[in-house]
Structure 1
Amino acid sequence: MLEVHSGHSIGQLLRTTLDEHSLSMRKLSELTDIDTATISRIINDKRKATLDHLEKFSTVLAIPLTTLLQASGYSVDPENDSTIVYDQTIQQLVNTSGLLSADISLSQVESQLVEYEDYVHTTEGKQRVVYEFTKKLESAGGVGPLADQMKKLFNRFKTQNGNARELAIIGSALLYFIVPIDVIPDYLFAVGYLDDAVAVQIASSELMKNS
């Protein structure tokens, strides 16, 4: 996961992230569906990023939404973790995407990850990760910090670099990405992979606790 330095403005944070991953503002525009000129103004601190902008940046750049909110000057409760923020973000994005009747919450992502932890212990689950991950990543575009993060997790899983618990956590996040049954359908551009990004961040947090 990207190491984010505290005290940076949203412009500094985005500029540093793009440099580290060799991404241009034009490419970020393509990935987020945000106009390049708007991204330029945000990066140069000439306009305030909206919640919608930050949600898309969080998804594509794999930066915690709370970090982006703080860098943009929004009030974030320091006693509150990212769980509620992501919960609200998922629901807001689904609502604006026309799925008004969907009951989307972070708990659904977490529940699915638990199920996949059991599945990844089976031969079928392991083989599915090994043989289907690359194809799914290519179909999703395969670029950006989230893709880089997932590639690292996949390489670690493929080489069995970790104990049984760590590999189960990694495998669950990869299966969440691979299996087409998501909390948010993947075909929804700039929205469909938000829950996959959340799943990866949940897994990364669990790995840190187990390290």
Structure 2
Amino acid sequence: MDEISADNKLGMRIKELLQEKSISMRHLSKLTEIDTATISRIINGKRKANLNHLESFAKNLEVPVVDLIEAAGYGAETTEEKNRTGVQIELNYTKKLLAAYQIEVEKLTMENIERELKVHQEYSHTDEGRKMIITGFKEKLKKAGSANSFVQQLEDMYHRFRVQKGTKTEITLLGGALIYFILTLDMIPDYMFAVGLLDDVLIVKYTMLLLK
């Protein structure tokens, strides 16, 4: 393996992990289904790893994907860009799951998520939007299943919106996410058994990251 530049943090990290686990690049290629030449170029800093590469490396080298994301230089992004990157990884997982159910996933993109949220955020400032949230949230929540972290986050978001706890920007973010959750026909219709709330989970996670 060629000498790796000291500023190539991702290459150095992958090389360390390969040595620790006694795995060759050829074997990593079989595990990840990424061409050996591509892995070599990433390690030697001749090619930038994309999110799919990092996700596969993290899974098969048994490290948190966020470690490799930061090593690859994504950590230099703004907070909003980092949040978007994290949700993009979640989105990739969701698409794989939907593909297993043979469900069309073309509409499920970060661009569409952000576009839908913007529309709902604006609507949450209207009297009709606020009324929808206050009167429709609890009924919709009953369909989200038993107590879990997703439901808890939704309840916290609803409470903050109802008492207007936070800045104007925070209330806008909360309102947009809550309206998206309440509406039945969104990017993945809620009536679709087992997968109908996957896009709602993404929206909530993204909004919680933005609130931080």
Distance 2:64 2:169 in 1: 36
What's the Cα RMSD here? 2.4
Letter in 1 for 2:126: T
Q: Are 1:161 and 2:175 counterparts?
A: no
Find the counterpart in structure 2 of residue 171 from structure 1: 175
Asked whether the 8 Å contact 2:188–2:199 carries over to 1, the reply is yes
Out of 65, 78, 89, which is 2:69 matched to? 78
Unaligned runs of 5+ in 1: 1-65
Note closer, same or farther for the CA distance 1:183–1:100 as it changes in structure 2 (3 Å cut): closer
Moved more, 169-178 or 157-166: 157-166
Give the SS at the match of 2:205: helix
TM superposition outliers: structure 1 runs of 4+ over 6 Å: none
Moved more, 145-154 or 133-142: 133-142
Distance 2:64 2:167 in 1: 39
Find the counterpart in structure 2 of residue 141 from structure 1: 145
Unaligned runs of 5+ in 2: 1-54, 75-84
Give the fraction of aligned pairs with identical amino acids, expressed as a percent: 29
Kindly name which structure, 1 or 2, has the bigger radius of gyration based on alpha carbons.
Answer: 2
Letter in 2 for 1:78: I
Paired residue total: 141
TM-score (normalised: structure 2)? 0.59
Asked whether the 8 Å contact 1:94–1:102 carries over to 2, the reply is no
Distance 2:125 2:92 in 1: 32
Note closer, same or farther for the CA distance 1:130–1:97 as it changes in structure 2 (3 Å cut): same
Asked whether the 8 Å contact 2:87–2:206 carries over to 1, the reply is no
TM-score (normalised: structure 1)? 0.60
Find the counterpart in structure 2 of residue 5 from structure 1: none
